[in-house]
């Protein structure tokens, strides 16, 4: 059927993205004030209809993405960039979708401009007449009084948007969306650069065409997209640089900027260091870390926010999220053994972080010994950190998924991540809330995806791309696979020094 061809999937996904956008205009994370008559909250039947339309559009988008990936895996060659443009275009004019975090970003940028300590208080300190007061009114739940957990580089960007838009909500959201769009393009560029040439389309499919990323980076405007883009760009510089010193400096600078958005990006320094150390010796591996420290310190001073961000990195962990395995387990054990569950919960959370550290160490050791691709090692490490973190949001899985996509999109891990991402896309409603039916829908999608993956398991020996609609082509030869694997394990690419 035409609808299951790559061209058909392109337009099916575009229809889904359009439905998500239209539903968001009725039921998205609409502002309390400052909607300028365009983004206004509705009630009753309008909100319900918008929510249903949004979920219908999401389902069309997920189905189109799933089938599109199967086509690429079977050997189809397609203009993935055109498909991404078709799917992303409707979301550019959508209100905030599936999250209200962008209002926190704007309010925190305004707090800096108004002289408030963004690392000592939350957006509730903003008063009438101050920049960001309207945005602060739409900040939900615990985040109203929570200090910013973000580093200085991101706050500089938020300040710039607030200053250019005069603190108005609607233009401010669109300004943040421009940053999100740039982040999406950066992810595409980095993933394509890290992936073997014949697997670039598939790598972009898992990383950038991913409905979870489109929904939460372009639609929900989460700064995780910019963090991931800078992180992967830094790793690309380490892997592809003709001169190791230049690659080390660029890698350290970009990963340092990523870490001053969200601190988990600092894991990239470990694997960029491994790439350089395997090429030029252990001393070379220290260069990215040294440069990143300098970049982070300089950003902290130049931004005018100081080093307070270093002490607020754990504030998010104080908020319980249902996706955190260690928080759920700790809370359950605490209720069983004590009337005060918090100490037990805290202990289990710390054990989870220790376990994540052990996984990272083991993965890094394998990468150092040449038994694991450093890019894949970074992806696995980020996934382990998220799985064992005290606080987990659906879009956190994108950190590791984008790295895995670059080198292993067509294997079992890539297939599993596709299933997980599809399910997590349903967890939050267009309004940003996490309703019970979101977990049910996400669980059903994961169950269907696991059934599919058992019937059609993906292995890393994907066929080379051909032309036209999906066809099965001869598999890559063993010699080609060995050559690609050796190049990746050595951390080298075309033209590497």
pLDDT tens, position by position, 298-343? 999 988 888 888 888 777 667 778 899 999 999 999 888 877 888 8
Average pLDDT over residues 228-236: 97
Confidence band for 2, pLDDT divided at 50, 70 and 90: low
Average pLDDT over residues 14-29: 96
Is 276 domain-assigned? yes
Q: What is the pLDDT of residues 213-227, one digit of tens each?
A: 999 999 999 999 999
Is 253 domain-assigned? yes
Is 246 domain-assigned? yes
Enter the pTM of the model.
0.90
Confidence band for 6, pLDDT divided at 50, 70 and 90: confident
How far is the CA of 137 from the CAs of 68, 70, 154, 211, 484, in angstroms? 41, 44, 21, 29, 53
Is 268 domain-assigned? yes
How far is the CA of 313 from the CAs of 157, 259, 267, 306, in angstroms? 19, 11, 15, 14
Domain total in the chain: 1
- Taking the C-alpha atoms of residue 226 and residue 178, their distance in angstroms, rounded to an integer, is 11
Please tell me the least confidently modeled range out of 146-160, 190-204, 302-316: 302-316
Confidence band for 487, pLDDT divided at 50, 70 and 90: very low
pLDDT at 147 over 80: yes
221 near 432, Cβ under 8 Å?
no
Is 247 domain-assigned? yes
Higher-pLDDT residue of 40 and 57 is 57
Confidence band for 460, pLDDT divided at 50, 70 and 90: low
Sign of CA dihedral 225, 231, 234, 235: negative
Could you list the residue range(s) of the whole structural domain that residue 271 is in? 239-304
pLDDT at 461 over 60: no
Q: What is the pLDDT of residues 390-425, one digit of tens each?
A: 999 999 999 999 999 999 999 999 999 999 999 999
196 near 485, Cβ under 8 Å?
no
Average pLDDT over residues 450-476: 55
Averaged pLDDT score across all residues of the chain: 89
253 near 295, Cβ under 8 Å?
yes
- Taking the C-alpha atoms of residue 495 and residue 497, their distance in angstroms, rounded to an integer, is 6
- Taking the C-alpha atoms of residue 13 and residue 345, their distance in angstroms, rounded to an integer, is 42
Is 282 domain-assigned? yes
Residues contacting residue 104 through CB under 8 Å, at least 6 positions apart? 123, 139, 143, 148
Is 279 domain-assigned? yes
Residues contacting residue 201 through CB under 8 Å, at least 6 positions apart? 72, 77, 78, 80, 465
- Taking the C-alpha atoms of residue 359 and residue 270, their distance in angstroms, rounded to an integer, is 13
Q: What is the pLDDT of residue 315?
A: 74
The segment with the largest mean pLDDT, out of 117-121, 148-152, 171-175, is 171-175
Taking each helix axis as running N to C, give the angle between helix 224-240 and helix 244-259, from 0 to 180 degrees, rounded to the nearest 10.
170
pLDDT at 192 over 70: yes
Q: What is the CB neighbour count within 10 angstroms for residue 495?
A: 8
Tokens 């609607």 belong to which residue? 170
Is 455 domain-assigned? no
């Amino acid at each position: 059927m035409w609808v299951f061809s790559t061209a058909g999937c392109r337009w099916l996904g575009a229809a889904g993205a359009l439905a998500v956008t239209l539903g968001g205009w009725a039921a998205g994370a609409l502002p309390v004030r400052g909607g300028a008559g365009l983004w206004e909250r509705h009630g009753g039947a309008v909100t319900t209809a918008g929510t249903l339309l949004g979920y219908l559009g999401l389902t069309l988008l997920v189905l189109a993405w799933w089938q599109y990936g199967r086509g690429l895996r079977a050997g189809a060659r397609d203009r993935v960039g055109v498909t991404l443009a078709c799917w992303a275009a409707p979301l550019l004019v959508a209100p905030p979708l599936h999250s209200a975090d962008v209002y926190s970003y704007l309010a925190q940028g305004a707090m800096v401009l108004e002289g408030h300590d963004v690392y000592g208080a939350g957006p509730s300190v903003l008063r009438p007449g101050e920049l960001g007061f309207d945005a602060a009114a739409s900040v939900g739940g615990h985040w109203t009084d929570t200090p910013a957990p973000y580093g200085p580089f991101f706050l500089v960007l938020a300040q710039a948007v607030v200053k250019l838009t005069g603190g108005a909500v609607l233009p401010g959201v669109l300004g943040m969306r421009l940053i999100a769009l740039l982040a999406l393009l950066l992810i595409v560029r980095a993933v394509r650069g890290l992936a073997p040439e014949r697997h670039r389309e598939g790598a972009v499919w898992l990383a950038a065409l991913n409905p979870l990323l489109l929904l939460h980076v372009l639609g929900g405007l989460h700064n995780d997209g910019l963090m991931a883009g800078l992180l992967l760009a830094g790793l690309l510089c380490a892997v592809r640089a003709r001169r190791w010193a230049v690659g080390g400096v660029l890698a350290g600078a970009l990963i340092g900027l990523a870490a001053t958005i969200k601190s988990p990006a600092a894991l990239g320094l470990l694997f960029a260091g491994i790439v350089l150390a395997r090429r030029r010796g252990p001393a070379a591996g220290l260069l990215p870390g040294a440069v990143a420290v300098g970049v982070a310190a300089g950003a902290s001073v130049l931004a005018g926010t100081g080093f307070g961000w270093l002490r607020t990195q754990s504030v998010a962990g104080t908020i319980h999220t249902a996706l955190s395995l260690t928080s759920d387990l700790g809370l359950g054990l605490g209720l069983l053994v004590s009337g005060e569950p918090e100490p037990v919960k805290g202990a289990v959370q710390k054990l989870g972080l220790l376990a994540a550290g052990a996984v990272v160490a083991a993965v890094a050791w394998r990468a150092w010994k040449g038994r694991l691709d450093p890019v894949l090692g970074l992806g696995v490490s980020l996934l382990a950190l998220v799985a064992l973190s005290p606080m987990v949001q659906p879009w956190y899985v994108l950190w590791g998924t984008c790295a895995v996509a670059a080198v292993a999109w067509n294997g079992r891990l890539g297939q599993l991540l596709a299933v997980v991402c599809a399910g997590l896309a349903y967890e939050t409603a267009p309004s940003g809330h996490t309703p019970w039916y979101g977990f049910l829908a996400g669980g059903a999608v994961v169950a269907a995806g696991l059934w599919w993956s058992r019937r059609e398991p993906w292995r890393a020996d994907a066929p080379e791309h051909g032309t036209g609609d999906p066809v099965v082509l001869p598999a890559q030869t063993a010699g080609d696979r060995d050559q690609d694997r050796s190049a990746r394990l050595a951390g080298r690419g075309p033209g590497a020094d």
